[in-house]
Amino acid sequence: MIKTVEWTDEGVVMIDQRLLPGEEVYPVFKTCEEVARAIEQMVVRGAPAIGVAAAMGLALGVRNTKAGSIGEIEKDFDDMCRRMSRTRPTAVNLFWAIKRMRWRFNKAKQQEASPEVVRASLIAEAKLIHSEDIESNRRMGRFGAELIAEGSTVLTHCNAGALATAGFGTALGVIRAAIESGKRISVFAGETRPFLQGARLTAWELARDGVPVTLITDGMSGHFMKRGRIDCVIVGADRIAANGDVANKIGTYMVAIAAHENNIPFYVAAPLSTIDLTLNSGDEIPIEERAAEEVTHIHGERMAPDGIAVSNPAFDVTPHRYVSAIITNKGVAREPYDMSLKSLFANCGDGAETGSV
Ligand code: MRU
């Protein structure tokens, strides 16, 4: 399995996703600030992977701090949490992971743990978030695989694979699980302008696993749906509001409309850490605006007129009425989402798992 994010004694090792598929390079990030920059600069991306990286970045920061007392460590930790929360605004997994690390810190503090124990417990928590994410994707895969018929061609958008998580993937995890269960599945991957996560990452990781994958440009998906070439759509999510509205990579909304028009199921696969019950609807989800150069340039080469006005929202929101089901690590939710999503959180222990503490 691809090692997207890994804790080592030297620091956090992450595959540099900006260089794929041309080069497979694994730099080591040695400070919390280095990890925060890696998230901003898209070395690591994808909602769950961002959360795992952020948790490891905070653990690294607490391990590195020269602070001697719990009070001093906490002051540094607060600064690191603030820094980390400014990296990217849309994927709620980032804020979930920060909250969960804060919860672990508070728990250790209440137990009057020594600085060494606080450091060790934050490292342990970050590693746990990592391993839980893989387990959660496997569970999601098992739930989702049942929705995919033998012989299906599945359209996906962006990259919701091993590269977007600690491993296995959410949307691609469902596809992998369906294949593991013996079904013959092929995939259409939308290229995902402007950052090309579909062309560079999804195509790369599926081809590497021997999954039949056909790359198309974003504008082609409606055409293939109308021609009966797509049986269902599965995408990941960056944040899901309480009513089931789904923020995901820009272009997802148009895919959902085309799927609806053609009577094709549109599934979203995401862990509970992507569901934000504090927001009533998708209108409240903050949408990241990224640099104009991502639109005007390809591989550093300008292909739009100099000085042209550009808009570059990185995500859009698909209204829940277009979502056939939301596949989570706790089961499959369907309309009415304001009830079904809430009930998934019902048996989640002391809240550590959901970040609701
Ligand atoms: O800008 P990115 O590459 O971080 O956006 C990623 C996506 O939109 C994914 O579809 C989403 O995070 C789900 S990943 C399992």
Residue 217 dihedral angles phi and psi, to the nearest 5°: -80, 160
Residue 349's pLDDT is 60
- The percent of the chain in helix, strand and coil, each rounded to the nearest 5, is 45, 15, 40
DSSP state letters, 218-234: GGGHHHHHHTT---EEE
Q: Can you say whether the dihedral through the CA atoms of 11, 13, 17, 21 is positive or negative?
A: positive
The rounded average pLDDT for each run of 10 residues, N- to C-terminus, in the chain (357 residues) is 96 98 98 98 98 98 95 98 98 98 96 94 98 98 98 98 98 98 98 98 98 98 98 98 98 98 98 98 98 95 97 98 98 98 83 46
Expressed as residue numbers, the domain containing 50 is 5-137
Which pLDDT value is given to residue 299?
87
* Number of compact structural domains in the chain: 2
Q: What is the CATH number of the domain that holds 259?
A: 3.40.50.10470
Could you tell me if 144 and 219 lie in one domain? yes
- Sign (positive or negative) of CA dihedral 197, 203, 204, 205: positive
Please choose from 16, 155, 159 the residue to mutate so as to test ligand 1's pocket, defined by most ligand atoms within 8 A of CB: 159
Q: Which two tokens stand for residue 306?
A: 């100099």
Strand-pair category, 213-216 with 246-249: unpaired
Are 159 and 43 in a shared domain? Answer: no
Pocket flag, ligand 1, residue 237 (CB < 6 Å) = yes
194 and 157: one domain? yes
Structure token digits, residue 105 = 């810190």
How far away, in angstroms, is 103 Cα from ligand 1 center?
25
- Same-domain pairing of 333 and 298: yes
Check whether residue 182 and residue 291 sit in a common domain: yes
Q: Is the CB of 91 under 6 A from ligand 1?
A: yes
Report pLDDT for 113: 86
Distance CA 145, CA 330 (A): 14
pTM of the model: 0.97
What per-residue string of b and e applies to 55-89 under the rule 16 or more CB within 10 Å gives b? bbbbbbbbbbbeeeebeebbebbeebbebbeebbb
**Do both 310 and 211 map to the same domain?**
yes
Q: Same domain, yes or no, for 193 and 327?
A: yes
pLDDT at 24: 98
DSSP summary character for residue 314: S
Q: State whether 166 and 144 are in the same domain.
A: yes
From the CA of 200, how far away is ligand 1's center (Å)? 13
Do 124 and 223 fall within a single domain? no
Residue 1 has what pLDDT? 84
Q: Please report, for the domain that includes residue 15, its CATH number.
A: 1.20.120.420
Q: Are residues 323 and 335 in the same domain?
A: yes
Q: Which ligand 1 atom is the nearest neighbour of the CA of 315?
A: 8
How many CB atoms sit inside 10 A of residue 229's CB?
15
- Cβ pair 234, 154 in contact under 8 A: yes
Q: Give the domain-ending residue among 137, 166, 183.
A: 137
Strands 239-241 and 232-235: unpaired
Query: What is each CA distance from 59 to 65, 97, 355, in whole angstroms?
Result: 10, 11, 17
Tell me if residue 103 falls in helix, strand or coil: helix
| CA–CA distance, 248 with 239 (Å, rounded to integer) | 7
Residue tagged active-site, from 9, 79, 218, 238: 238
Ligand 1 centroid to Cα of residue 120, in Å, is 30
Whether 111 and 171 map to the same domain: the answer is no
Q: Please tell me the predicted confidence (pLDDT) of residue 189.
A: 98
Give the end of a domain, one of 114, 137, 160.
137
**Three-point CA angle 353, 130, 291, nearest 5°:** 100
289: its two tokens: 């605006």
The protein residue whose alpha carbon is closest to atom 10 in ligand 1 is: 236
122 and 151, same domain (yes or no): no
Residue after which a domain boundary falls, among 117, 137, 157: 137
- Phi and psi at residue 53, in whole multiples of 5°? -60, -40
